[in-house]
Amino acid sequence: MDFAKITERVKAILATPKTEWPLIAAEPASVGSLYAGYIAILAAIPAIASFIKSSLIGYSMLGMSVRVPIGSGIASMVASYLVSLLVVYVVALIIDALAPTFGGQKNRVQALKVTAYAWTAAWIAGVAVIIPWLGLIIALVGGIYSIYLLYLGLPPTMQCPPERAGAYTAVSVIIAIVLSWIVAVVVAAIIGTATFGGPSMNGVRVGAAGAALPARHHALVAERTAPSAALAVAPGSWRR
C-alpha cells in the first residue's frame, strides 16, 4: 500500500481534475487494486471521524451534551464503513449499466474508477464532522464538488459524449441517493435496535438532566450509515 501515491492522487484529482481524469482512464486497474489501493483507505476517513465525534467528543444542543457509548460507536463505525464499501461498488454497477443510454461504453472497472475517484472530495470532507456547525458546510461543499468530479470523469472513463455527461451524472446521482438511503435506513434500524434493546440504553451518556436521547442516536446512526452514494452530501455532513 503506497500512501505517497494515494496522497498524490488525492491532490491531483481535487486540484487538477481535468488533466487527471484522462490519466486515470488510461491506467491499468482492477476491482481488487482499486479497493486495496484507494477505496478502502479513503472510505475509512469519514467513518473514523464520525466515531471520534459521536463517542469521544460528543454532541451539544440546548444545553445538553450526549455521547454514544464506545461499543455502539465502534459498531456503527464498522457498519458505516462496510456499507460505504458496498455502495461504492453498487453505484459503479449503476453507472456501468447506464453507459449505453448516454452514448458511453460499458466497462465495470472504469465505472468503479469514476465512482471511487469522484467520491474523493466527499470522503476527505467527511473529516469535517469533528468541527461543530462549520463541519456541515465543509461536508456539503465536498459533496457538491464530488458531483462535479463525477461530471468531469464520465466522458474519459465511460467514453460518453461530453454534452451528455450532465444528464448521465444527474441520473446516476438520483438513483444512487435512493439506493444509499434505503441501505442506510435498514442498517440504522438494525444497529439502533441492538443499541436500544434493553439495558444498553443506559449506556447513553447525557450531560443535562440525566435524560437519554435514543431518538437522536437513531438519527446519528442513520446519518453515519448513509455514505452519500450520490456524492451530493458527504458522509457525516448532517452531524453537529
pLDDT digits 0-9 by tens, 133-171: 788 899 899 999 999 999 999 999 999 999 999 999 999
Domain ranges of the chain: 3-225
Which tops the pLDDT comparison, 91 or 191?
A: 91
Q: What φ, ψ does residue 64 adopt, rounded to 5°?
A: -115, 150
Pairing of strands 205-206, 59-61: unpaired
52-70 pLDDT, tens digit per residue, is 988 888 877 676 778 888 9
Rounded Cα distance, 53 and 86, in Å: 24
Of all residues in the chain, the percent with pLDDT exceeding 70 is 77
73-128 pLDDT, tens digit per residue, is 898 899 889 989 999 999 999 999 999 999 999 999 999 999 999 999 999 999 99
Does the pLDDT of residue 220 top 60, yes or no? no
- When pLDDT is cut at 50, 70 and 90, the band that residue 193 belongs to is low
CB 233 within 8 A of CB 139: yes
Distances (CA, A) of 7 to 10, 13, 33, 140, 143: 5, 10, 16, 22, 19
CB 220 within 8 A of CB 195: no
Cell of residue 73, nine digits: 460507536
Rounded Cα distance, 135 and 215, in Å: 22
Please list, residue by residue across 102-133, b when 16 or more beta carbons sit within 10 angstroms of its beta carbon and e when fewer do: bebeebbebbbbbbbbbbbbbbbbbbbbbeee
